[in-house]
Amino acid sequence: MARIFWVTCPGCGDRFYCHTQDLRHTTWRLRCPYCEREFDQEESPKIEE
Amino acid sequence: MECLSRRKGAGGDTVALATLTGAPETGSVSAGQALSLRAFLERLERESAVDVVHVTEAVNPDRFEVTAVLQRLEDLDRFPLVVFDRPTALDGQSSGIPLVTNVFASRARCARALGLGPEHEGLELSLEYARREARRLAPAVIPREQAPVKAIVQRGDEVDLKQFPVVRHHRMDGGPYIDMTPVMRDPDSGAYNVAFQRNQVKGPRKLGIHMSPRHNWQIARKYEQAGLPTPVAVVVGHHPAFYIGALNVSPFDADDYEVIGAIANQPLRLTPSETWGDDFLVPADAEIVIEGEIPPGVREVEGPFGEFPGTYGPQRVRWVIDVKAVTRRRDAIYQDTFVGHREVSILGAFPKEGSLYNRIKAVVPGVRGVHLPNSGVGRFHAYISLDKRFEGEPQQAALIALGNVDFLKHVIVVDADDIDVYREDQVLWALATRVQAGRDVQVLCGVKGSALDPSQDEEGAGDKLIVDATRPLRHPFEARIEVPRDAVAAVDLARLIPPDQLARLGLGPLS
């Protein structure tokens, strides 16, 4: 499997996960699948990896 | 390879040969009629109405109201083809386009789609697929004005994907997804490739596309390395034989339009695309075709998406498709598959079972059955039955299976004379009563597998398991209990049990 990290959306507080190699420690803005907010991962209140 | 087993000994008694019964019907799918989804639906409703249900109330596919119905039915162990007559479009308006899904959720329906009787849903279906997969049938090209899919043509700003009833499938999905088949064309050989891939709706004229490193990925890579956009046509709605045919395992330079024709048993009708004309042909009898280009060097965030293993593929950085045109039938039907559920498991299974059977039989002639069960999402488990003549044959058969299908992880080999590979309870009974792990189990570590297998430690590599659940040959072994078959066959339940009680068992009325 791909390595993943769980991220908490700073807007709605729900959690989803991302591909570590593609997205962790990059400048890509993540997109919450629940509220559609786009955010920098530094804005997330909690990242689990 | 790490060999952890102590082999069962050789010698002793042999088991009786099982007999394959029933020759498949090999007539054309729909002789004299163009290959189309609507023709299949009409025939299915006429010949097997129990296979189809209509949801006549309005539903919103973007709010899980389609997949919630499918999940409720699945919870009840029911897998009909479902037609949603009044789905809402992504723009919130009534789409006016019926939505069809769960088409492939029954092997019997897949057999019908290939022109076989539903009773041939077992090995006959798999072997017939393998026979046709080896052939090629040239497509027939027809002018645009004769192509049903050109009834309505929208180009450029006229296109709005939000007019379609696109489905949001699972809770964590990154959005609504079109999950049918993009077609691409290899710039070197000219061969077309058709593959199931997820396409996230990102805007009225933009899709995100996820590609694993297989044929379409290779094609897009060639275009990108040349600094060119990759032409792509997403086929949304066609006869199920089109999609079943797209699952062939052929070399990269094989033309999928030719293989699909062979598997459907009639030439696929094609027509020039709106965007590239004769340089890129599209299926003339499709319901909807979305034409677009994958721009080189462009990536966006895409996903997550509920994938075939029943887990979410993570949010990633993937390609996009700039949509150039949409063509469709005037009364188009939108088609979807319920990814991560039974229909996608079945699609993963029978198109591979026949070729596996043939390859195993070339070396282990006693093989009698090969099945990739739904419990292994049609990809990760294989059950093989054989009439064992020599010890070692189960391992040989398993290694051939593992060597030919990289997705496979766990292979259980059973005796053909008393275990049916389509009956998982029987396979697991053999596992329970004929296996000692230290003797009959072998593990191969660090072998290529599916990148979507969530249990892997490293992306793309995992472990393989071989279980020999056959009886040993070297010494007498306890027999399975059995009510005499002739006594069972002589029972007439309708005479012995009152009709109302039979009905309560779901068995009546019996003729």
pLDDT tens figures, B339-375: 999 999 999 999 999 999 999 999 999 999 999 999 9
So what's the pLDDT on residue B461?
A: 86
pLDDT tens per residue, range B35-50: 999 999 999 999 999 9
- Across the interface, which of B174, B456, B459 has its CB nearest the CB of A33? B174
- Give how far A40 is from chain B: nearest CA, Å: 12
d(CA B250, CA B192): 12
Vertex B150, ends B144 and B152: CA angle to 5°? 145
Residue B157: burial class (beta carbons within 10 Å; 0-12, 13-18, 19+): exposed
Record: contact A31-B174, CB cut-off 8 A:
yes
CB contacts of B453 in chain A (<8 Å) are 1
Higher pLDDT, B8 or B79: B79
Q: Any idea which of A29-38, B45-54, B155-164, B444-453 has the lowest mean pLDDT? A: B444-453
Provide the shortest C-alpha distance from residue A20 to chain B (in Å). Answer: 9
Pairing of strands B288-294, B300-302: unpaired
Instruction: Determine the residue type at B299.
Output: R
CA distance B251 to B218: 12
Q: Kindly report the nearest CA distance between residue B359 and chain A, in angstroms.
A: 29
Return the pLDDT at B23. Answer: 33
Q: Tell me which residue in A3, A17, A28 faces B304 most closely, judged by beta carbons.
A: A17
pLDDT of residue B506: 84
Please give the share of chain B, as a percent, with pLDDT higher than 90.
88
Question: Which residues on chain B place their C-beta less than 8 Å from a C-beta of chain A?
Answer: 172-175, 301, 304, 312-317, 451-456, 459
pLDDT one-digit tens code per residue, B323-339:
999 999 999 999 999 99
List the single range of B12-16, B116-120, B323-327 with lowest mean pLDDT.
B12-16
Number of other residues whose CB lies within 10 A of the CB of residue B11: 11
A23 contacts B301? CB cut-off 8 A: yes
CB count in 10 Å sphere of residue B454: 14
- Chain A residue closest to B200 (CA)? A33
Minimum-distance CB partner of B315 among A1, A3, A23: A23
pLDDT at B2: 35
**Whether the Cβ atoms of residue B292 and residue B273 lie closer than 8 Å to each other:** no
Helix (H, G, I), strand (E, B) or coil at B425: helix
| Chain B nearest CA to A3, separation (Å) | 8
Nearest CB to B459: which of A1, A16, A31? A1
In angstroms, the separation between the Cα of residue B450 and the nearest Cα of chain A is 8
In this prediction, residue B450 carries a pLDDT of: 87
Q: How big is chain A, counted in residues?
A: 49
Structure tokens at B105: 């959720």
Q: How far is B494 from chain A (nearest CA, A)?
A: 53
Interval B240-270: pLDDT, tens = 999 999 999 899 999 999 999 999 999 999 9
Give the residue carrying structure tokens 């955010």: A39
Contact B301 A1 (CB under 8 A): no
Which of B314, B317, B453 lies nearest to residue A17, judging by beta carbons?
B314
Q: What is the mean pLDDT of chain A?
A: 96
Cβ <8 Å between B301 and A28: yes
Residue B110 has pLDDT above 90, yes or no: yes
CA distance B497 to chain A (A): 53
**Which chain B residues have a beta carbon less than 8 Å from that of A19?**
314-317
Question: Which residue in B57, B298, B288 sits closest to B178, CA to CA?
Answer: B288
End-to-end CA distance of chain A: 14
Average pLDDT over residues B175-191: 98
**Closest C-alpha to B139, from B241, B279, B258:** B258
Task: Write out chain B residues lying below 8 Å of A18, CB-based.
Answer: 304, 314-316
Q: What is the mean pLDDT of residues B277-291?
A: 98
Whole-number Å distance between alpha carbons of B374 and B425: 13
B301/A3 CB distance under 8 A: no
**CB-CB under 8 Å, A19 with B315:** yes
Nearest CA in chain A to B455: A1
Asked whether B411 and B466 are in contact (CB, 8 A), the reply is: yes
Q: Do A2 and B314 touch (CB under 8 A)?
A: yes
Residues B506, B503: Cα–Cα separation, whole Å? 5
- pLDDT the model gives residue A2: 76
Q: How far apart are CA B343 and CA B41, in angstroms?
A: 16
Percent of chain B with pLDDT over 70: 93
Radius of gyration of chain A from its Cα atoms, rounded to whole angstroms: 10
Picking from B63, B170, B301 by the largest number of A CB atoms within 10 A of its own CB, the best residue to mutate is: B301
A-chain residues near B301 (CB < 8 A): 23, 28-31
Looking at beta carbons, which residues of chain B come within 8 Å of A22? 315-317
Task: Verify whether the Cβ–Cβ distance A2 to B459 is below 8 Å.
Answer: yes
Q: Residue B281 pairs with which residues in a beta bridge?
A: B272
Q: Which two tokens stand for residue B467?
A: 């279980």
Chain B environment of A16 (Cβ under 8 Å): 172, 304, 315
Is B174's CB within 8 Å of A17's CB? Answer: no
Phi, psi for B481 (deg, rounded to 5): -65, 150
Cβ-based contacts under 8 A for chains A and B:
51
